[in-house]
Structure 1
């Protein structure tokens, strides 16, 4: 039984935690950034639309705002206009972050079952690993995923993407500490 639980625990960690970590880390690279209205575009069609929009805003005395784009909208930016930015890839990474994050709940559940079977539940390294796992899960669910959703709905100048990169780095670092705890097991009995 221990072998099965350990195998499921490790495989789920590799697939689900690893998948959500990679997706969260790559998201800022592909997420759209709002292009200021005064920046020209190589595409004449898009450039003329932008000029018309500026004329409308000048005529009505309004300030242009970034449009709200639904997550399932099939809007791609040409690679040459925004480098490697691709909204479709960002949407896929956003969905992977959510799905793998949800399925990642298997990791602590099976880990707790394994600790109970092995009689290690009271050991300090298990407690610290559980606290860090809860912190990582909370970070993903309450900060990273919602911020990704906001960036997709309302792109900005990249400030939120920088914040997302930092949060993804913290998320990955927390999981790296958990992995080290699982290997070194400080304070383990026997």
Structure 2
């Protein structure tokens, strides 16, 4: 059963976390160009925002199945897993409370006048840093999942 749960956990990470990380990372440069354009086209931004929102919901399966795997392996108290869970929570909070809301504000401003778009430009620029941090957090979690300090896999 643990192999099945691990397979679902890894597949969910690939299918959901990967695309949301890419879409969130692609959004800021396109947003900056759109906010500076005389006649912004928000179609690409809308797609990236939708991917970020929908795949974020699907990404909830990653920690759910991860906890099930950890329980089956008896490693719920291991510090590498606790650190991974904290980093996952921070990444999820960044996505839910910073990235997606900022994307929504940029989309709303894309249809507004030039003054509104210009006023939102600093937030769109800051979004690059936030999405970079989001991606970095996931990279650290992946490394922790592979290396697993104290594991018997020889890593």
TM-score range, shorter chain: 0.7 to 0.9
The Cα shift of 1:15 comes to 1.1
Query: How many corresponding residue pairs?
Result: 143
- CA distance in 2: counterparts of 1:169 and 1:137, whole angstroms: 13
* Counterparts of residues 27-176 of structure 1 (less than 5 Å): 27-31=27-31, 32-35=34-37, 77=40, 86-155=41-110, 156-157=117-118, 158-176=121-139
Misfit runs of 4+, over 4 Å: none
The Cα shift of 1:87 comes to 1.0
- CA distance in 1: counterparts of 2:152 and 2:101, whole angstroms: 40
Provide the residue aligned with 2:146 in structure 1.
183
- CA distance in 2: counterparts of 1:130 and 1:188, whole angstroms: 17
TM-score, normalised via structure 2 length: 0.86
TM-score, normalised via structure 1 length: 0.71
Unaligned runs of 5+ in 2: 111-116
- CA distance in 2: counterparts of 1:87 and 1:29, whole angstroms: 13
SS at match of 2:35: coil
SS at match of 1:120: coil
- CA distance in 1: counterparts of 2:21 and 2:94, whole angstroms: 12
CA deviations on 1:1-37 (whole Å, 9 max, x unpaired) are: 11111110111001100011000001123222045xx
Paired residues of 1:120 and 1:126 also in contact (CA < 8 A) = yes
Unaligned runs of 5+ in 1: 36-40, 42-75, 78-85
The Cα shift of 1:97 comes to 0.2
The Cα shift of 1:188 comes to 3.9
Bigger Rg over Cα:
1
CA deviations on 1:73-103 (whole Å, 9 max, x unpaired) are: xxx74xxxxxxxx410100100100000111
Paired residues of 1:123 and 1:188 also in contact (CA < 8 A) = no
Compared CA separation, residues 127 and 189, structure 1 to 2 (3 A): farther
